[in-house]
Amino acid sequence: MSTLEGTVVMITGGGTGIGAATARLYASSGARVVVTGRRRDPLEKVAAETGGLAVVSDVSEREQAEAAVATTLAEYGRLDVAVANAGGQGLSSVTDTDDDEWAFALQSNLTTAFVFARAAVPALLESRGQIVIVSSLAGLFAGPNLAGYTVGKHALIGLTRTLARDYGPQGVRANAVCPGWVHTPMADDEMAKLAELGGLTDPGDGYQMATAEVPLRRAAEPEEIATIIRFLGSPDSSYMTGSVLVADGGAHVVDLPTLAFERAANSE
């Protein structure tokens, strides 16, 4: 594993979950970390833990994204890795999604990453740096009643590839990671709903239900996804760009049409 001493990393959605775990991992590797998001308290907590910088910002807004990058450059003089991690929203079917919900889902999952990347690219061209975009397994497949989320996460892969295509000749790499279920505050809320639908009361039961057919039979910890982000956003992945790494415990290898046969065999 290469040293990241002196590397400057900026992480959106850096106050909780995968973003916070990524900040801690980079900091432990010697990097200088900037965490940004809309909620001050969790950002400042992560910044205090990592010796980093907290920047309260809605990076889906061009002026705020550019200001956040400018603050990073003013504090540290460079930007080497931009991690577009913020996202969420869009949890309904097409016919149940009104125009405002659709716009908000795309803003949360796609526009935020696009605007942040656009603001970060000039600095990354100077450092010949890296962009890591956190998509989702929903960027490759479709779950039920997740229209805005699924479309936004699919589009993030397109954004990753176009960044890789356009800026690779100047030395900037862009890669994506697609996590499956991860123990995060957002997933906790979904697992609580799932457990309730199943007549259970413990949110942990929701995770068990959601990963029952996943080969590893569990959700990931945020730190496990952070190691993949750190790999993509470091010299260790120096000949990778436009790539999409799936981290889902093996969920994508399951042949769904054969599950009925497995269940039938196990019930005998």
Return per-residue pLDDT of the chain as tens, 268 residues: 667 999 999 999 999 999 999 999 999 999 999 999 999 999 999 999 999 999 999 999 999 999 999 999 999 999 999 999 988 887 788 999 899 999 999 999 999 999 999 999 999 999 999 999 999 999 999 988 888 999 999 999 999 999 999 999 999 999 999 999 999 888 888 888 887 777 877 767 888 888 889 999 999 999 999 999 999 999 999 999 999 999 999 999 998 888 766 666 666 5
What pLDDT was estimated at residue 146?
87
User: Residue 200 and residue 191: Cα distance in Å, rounded?
Assistant: 10
Put simply, whether the predicted model's pTM sits higher than 0.85 gets the answer yes
Q: Is 26 a catalytic residue?
A: no
What pLDDT was estimated at residue 181?
92
Q: Choosing from 149, 167, 207, 239, which is the catalytic residue?
A: 149
- Across the chain, the runs of DSSP E, i.e. the strands, are 8-12, 32-37, 53-56, 81-84, 130-134, 173-179, 244-247
Helix (H, G, I), strand (E, B) or coil at 119: helix
What pLDDT was estimated at residue 93?
87
What pLDDT was estimated at residue 268?
56
Q: What are the beta bridge partners of residue 177?
A: 134, 245
What pLDDT was estimated at residue 265?
66
Q: How far is CA 171 from CA 50, 80, 128, 161, 241, in A?
A: 28, 12, 5, 14, 10
Asked whether 53 and 34 are in contact (CB, 8 A), the reply is yes
Q: Which domains, from first to last, does the chain contain?
A: 8-182+220-250 (3.40.50.720), 184-219 (no CATH)
User: Residue 222 and residue 245: Cα distance in Å, rounded?
Assistant: 15
Asked whether 129 and 79 are in contact (CB, 8 A), the reply is yes
Q: Note the Cα 175 to chain centre separation in Å.
A: 11
